[in-house]
Structure formats: structure tokens, C-alpha cells
Structure 1
Amino acid sequence: MEVFRPSIAQSPKSPDGQASDNTKVTDSKTAVAERSGKSTLNEGIANFYDESSGLWESMWGEHMHHGYYPKGAAPKSNQKAQIDMIEEVLSWAGATSATKMVDVGCGIGGSSRHIARKFGCTAQGITLSPVQAARGNALAKEQGLGEKASFQVADALQQPFEDNSFDLVWSMESGEHMPDKARFVGELARVCMPGGRIIIVTWCHRNLEQGETELKGNEKLLLDLICKAYYLPEWCSINDYRAIFEAEGLRDIKVADWSQEVAPFWGAVIKSALSTQGFSGLFKAGWTTIKGALVMPLMSTGFSMGLVKFNLITGVKS
């Protein structure tokens, strides 16, 4: 089973037991390269959402995530399906109340405001996109939640919050953007209060079968194409997330695969992109958004072949 853990490099020592100068130089260059790579990824993510969020909101509303379409249920609007997703996730996780919540990768704050109204709690959200943060704050004010919900630009891997700040830590479809899954979960656990609940809803690749050490070649190729369009680093499985939750000492861990429940979503998104409003909006939004739209059928293909999974994981901080 693949497991994402922080790597700890062992530096060669000089005779006096100290790291050699050459090693220090190499380590410094490696650190700079890693920071540069992370910065480039973060800039790509921020630009993608700066450019595309307005179009998404105009066509889909304030909730920038999948909808929930259980098999056999009556037809409903995609906007209703997105709200149902929040409600169903909370119910599945056993989250019945909160006093302070944080939305990590908040988009324009749809989940935060919904949960703030539902539980009467305060909500803070972080995103890499200045456009999203500004729009989230504007919507909070318009909806009478200006004193309850606030949004800011910040990195999920280095959150600007004190330890033990929130009793509900929420991440709806942002984990896939995280280049270091272990550090991501570590930060969620750090800002969570003891007894507080962490909920992650994210895209994953399928779990590896017994005897497999990696995904198949065609699966890797498909994920690579998706990653380039959506500014995603390497994918992981829900088993990887479970292992990280366990390593963080979280308890009452539960996972789920809701791929079938969200399957109708991508067809609806593709249909909306092909509409007159969609074509016009994509043209105005720019090439980055157009690239994302062109790759939508690949996401749908990934779902169909069982490679791309829509997974949930929750746990409680001890």
C-alpha cells in the first residue's frame, strides 16, 4: 500500500559529526527548489481559480463542488444537489454541531456560510485565490453573515491559525491540490481542538490491489493529463489518507466512496460548458479555464473506469 509520509533525509556527516559543507549547500539548493516548485504550483492554482470562479458562480452558484445524486432519488437541480452534498457529508460524519469551523480550500465560501447558518457557528475560510477570498467576504456581507464568516488568502500547508482553534475542520475538494498530503492532514489536526472533527472530501485514485505496487500505465497517463489542466500534484488513494490519519493519532476514523453518488455531476458540467452561456463564459475567462473545460471528459472517463474516486474521510482529534 502506498503511504504518503514526510521524508526525512539523513545527511552525510564529517569526521567531527557535523554535516559537511557540500551537504549543506546541496540541502540548501534542494530546499530552494522545493520552495520554488511549491510556489509555482500555488501560483498556478491561484490563477486558475482567479480566472474561473466568476464563470462557475454565474452558471452554478456559490457552491464550487460536486452535487449529491443518490441512486433512485427524484430529479433535482444541480444547485440543490450541491447543498445536499454538504448536508449528507455532515450527517455521514456525525457532525451535529460546531462553535468554530474552518473551511480549508474554501472557494467563495459556500460551505462555510451554509454551515455557519446551520450550526450558528463562526466560520473562517482560506484559499490561495485573492478573487475567491474577496468574493467570499462580499457574499458573507450580502447574506448578513459579515460577523460570522470571513475569508482570507493563505496556504493550507502553513495555516495562519493557532493550535486547537476549531471544533470543525472542513475541506471540500481541496485535498487534491496539496503536494504534501501528510503535511496537509498534519495542519488540519494542528488547528483542530481536542475532541473536534476533521472532514475531508476529495478526489483520490483507486486503492491498489494486493500485489500491485503502482497504478497501470494508462491510468498514470490519464491522471497526468488531468493534473496538468487542474494544477494537481501527485494523487493518492483513500487508503493513503487513512494511514496518515492513523499516524496523526486521530480516532473514530471512517471512510467512504461516493463515486456513484456524484457520477451524474460531470455530465451536467460538460453539458453546461457546451451551452451558449458556457462557450461565451469560457472565451471571456481565458485559456486556463478553457483547458480545464477540455479535460472535463477525462475526469468523466476516470470515474467510468474506476480510477478516479470521490472519497470521504473523517476522524476525531484525541
Structure 2
Amino acid sequence: MTSALQPRWATPDLHAAIKDHYDGLIELYEDLWGEHIHHGYWAKDEPDPGRHAAQVRLVEELMSFGPLPEGSRVLDAGCGIGASAVHLAQRLGCRVDGITISAEQITRAEAKAAEGGVTDRTTFRLVDALHTDYADGTFDVVWALESCELMPDKRAFLAECLRVLKPGGTLLVATWCARDDSLTADETRLMGRIYRDFVVSHVLPLDQYRDLADGLGFTGIRTDDWSERVWDTWKLSSDIVKPVVRDPSVVWKLVRAKGMDIFRFLNSVPLMKQAYDRGVMRYGVLRATRPL
């Protein structure tokens, strides 16, 4: 049996699938999730701020986890539709290079930067985060918000992050994680279905990310498990998707517009909720420094 901690896809197939998935479904993602297409963060013992505010809170929490200095030169590796890049440029005056392999994401990110008045501080490019063309020591910060799970070679990705960071620069990662490397056969099947439907390569336990960073020579490594803080994302997302699934006319309208992959997309939300409910999927953050 294939391990849930090994890549599900061959790299060329993964890249093609990611492009098809996000280029085809980007509007639906934004309609359902809003401009920040990632988990939200709900602080313990605080009133519920709402899903969109929680997504912004997660960006702010990751900024603080760094902390991310004002005016930093930032590489947003796997920038999506640019919401985080725009936020960093607006809040901290950062100069952000966002990279992705989805042309539709680039188009949407550029539009969002224009809407946010930060086109002078943001650039979006079609670049593979595993093989960038930036010179060594270009960036103060590499920011990877829910993109590491897409990377077929985690070590190579972290090595590229190390290369493009300036000495003393900071790597900030927030990523889906596995509970551990001892999943049952049923848990492995569940993770495999999530990889297929979300077009994800694979995930690792948080401690394995720490070990990879340490082995590459990063220093000042800190990790934290935010699973309990982000869990509500999938409770709310399931509630959002339910009315769509229950209305056949809406489903078939989506099929005509987006193709049969819409079924996998709609099925992926309850699968993620199940994975969190069972404790199989976790959510981790990592901070590390390139040595001086």
C-alpha cells in the first residue's frame, strides 16, 4: 500500500492537475471561501469574528509568528490569488513577489493588487517554487501559506527557500500536516482521497518539517500546532457547501460551467472535516532562519 506520507502524483502530472484545478475552479473557490482561500484562525476564548475575519486573523498570526519586519522584501511562494501578498504590502509596506503555476491566479492577483492600491509593491509571476530564477540571497522573508502541501519534494522546496533568503532572513510556513507517520489503512485511504480531490501532493507530520529544515542548516527553528485554532474552517465550509450539494439544478449548472471535477471539489470539503474530526489532518506552522 502507498504511504499517505509519500507523493501521490508524478511531478509533471501534479503540475498539470494543479493548473487545471485552479484555472478551472478559481471563481468557485473565491465565491465560497472569499478572497483569502485558506484556513481561518479562531482565538481561544474570544468571540467568533466570522469566517472572513478569521482568515485575515490567520495571516496576522503568521506575521506575528515571524515576526515579519516592516518593509521586508518577501517571496510569497504559492501566492494563490494574491490576497496575502496584498495584505502584507498594505499592512507592513512589504515588497512582495508572488509566484504560482496557475495563470488564472496571476490574473486575479494582479487585479486584487490594483484594487488594493499596491501594484507598486507587488509583482506576480508564473514560476515553479521548486525552481525559481531568483539570485541567491534575494529576500528578507519567504512566506509559504498553505502551499507546502502542494510541493512534491518538500526538502527541495525548503532548500530553495534557504537559497533565496538573505543571511538572517526568515522562512514562514503554514501548512497542512499529518498527525504522525503511523496512519492506519483506513486513514491512509482518507488522506489519499483528499490528495486526489484537492490536488495535493502529500503532507508530512510537523516534526518532519522541523527535521528537514534542521538538516538543511536553518537555525532558530520554531514550530507550533494550530489545529485547534483552524478547525472551525471545515465546520463552516461544510455548511456553505451543503445547500449547493442539495440542489441538483445548481450542481448541474456548475458541471456545465466547470466540468465533472466539480463533484470532487464538492466532496473534498466533508472529507477534510472528517480528517480533522478524526485527528488525522493537523495544521502546523514553522519559522526558521538562514544563518548569517
Aligned mates of 1:232, 1:78 — CA distance in 2: 23
1:70-109 equivalence runs, <5 A: 70-109=43-82
Amino acid at match of 1:99: S
Q: 2:220 aligns with which of 227, 234, 252?
A: 252
Q: Which residue of 1 aligns with 2:198?
A: 230
Amino acid at match of 1:151: F
Q: Which residue of 2 aligns with 1:9?
A: none
Aligned mates of 2:32, 2:189 — CA distance in 1: 30
User: What SS is found at the alignment partner of 1:76?
Assistant: coil
Q: Which residue of 2 aligns with 1:174?
A: 147
1:1-318 equivalence runs, <5 A: 37-208=10-181, 214-275=182-243, 279=250, 282-283=254-255, 284-318=257-291
Answer with 1 or 2: which has the greater Rg.
Answer: 1
Partner deviation per Cα, 1:111-140 (whole Å, 9 max, x = no partner): 111011111121110111100011101211
Moved over 4 A (4+): 276-282
Query: Larger deviation: 276-285 or 87-96?
Result: 276-285
Aligned mates of 1:160, 1:203 — CA distance in 2: 27
User: What SS is found at the alignment partner of 2:137?
Assistant: coil
After TM superposition, give the deviation of residue 275 of structure 1 in Å. Answer: 3.2
User: What SS is found at the alignment partner of 1:274?
Assistant: helix
User: What SS is found at the alignment partner of 2:231?
Assistant: helix
User: Quick check: 1:251–1:316 contact (8 Å CA) kept in 2?
Assistant: yes
After TM superposition, give the deviation of residue 276 of structure 1 in Å. Answer: 5.1
Aligned mates of 1:258, 1:50 — CA distance in 2: 29
Q: Which runs of 5+ in 1 are unaligned?
A: 5-33, 209-213
User: Quick check: 1:169–1:192 contact (8 Å CA) kept in 2?
Assistant: yes
User: Quick check: 1:98–1:168 contact (8 Å CA) kept in 2?
Assistant: no
After TM superposition, give the deviation of residue 75 of structure 1 in Å. Answer: 1.8
Q: Which residue of 2 aligns with 1:29?
A: none
Report percent identity of matched pairs. Answer: 31
Aligned mates of 1:190, 1:255 — CA distance in 2: 21
User: What SS is found at the alignment partner of 2:142?
Assistant: strand
After TM superposition, give the deviation of residue 93 of structure 1 in Å. Answer: 2.5
User: Quick check: 2:173–2:287 contact (8 Å CA) kept in 1?
Assistant: yes
Q: Which residue of 2 aligns with 1:16?
A: none
User: Quick check: 2:65–2:287 contact (8 Å CA) kept in 1?
Assistant: no
The two structures, once aligned, show a CA RMSD in angstroms of 2.2
Aligned mates of 1:57, 1:223 — CA distance in 2: 24
Q: Which runs of 5+ in 2 are unaligned?
A: none
User: What SS is found at the alignment partner of 1:62?
Assistant: coil
Partner deviation per Cα, 1:62-99 (whole Å, 9 max, x = no partner): 21100111232112221111110000111122223342
Q: TM-score, normalised by structure 1?
A: 0.83
Counterparts in 2 of 1:237 and 1:98: CA distance versus 1, 3 Å? farther
User: What SS is found at the alignment partner of 1:309?
Assistant: strand
User: Quick check: 1:136–1:150 contact (8 Å CA) kept in 2?
Assistant: no
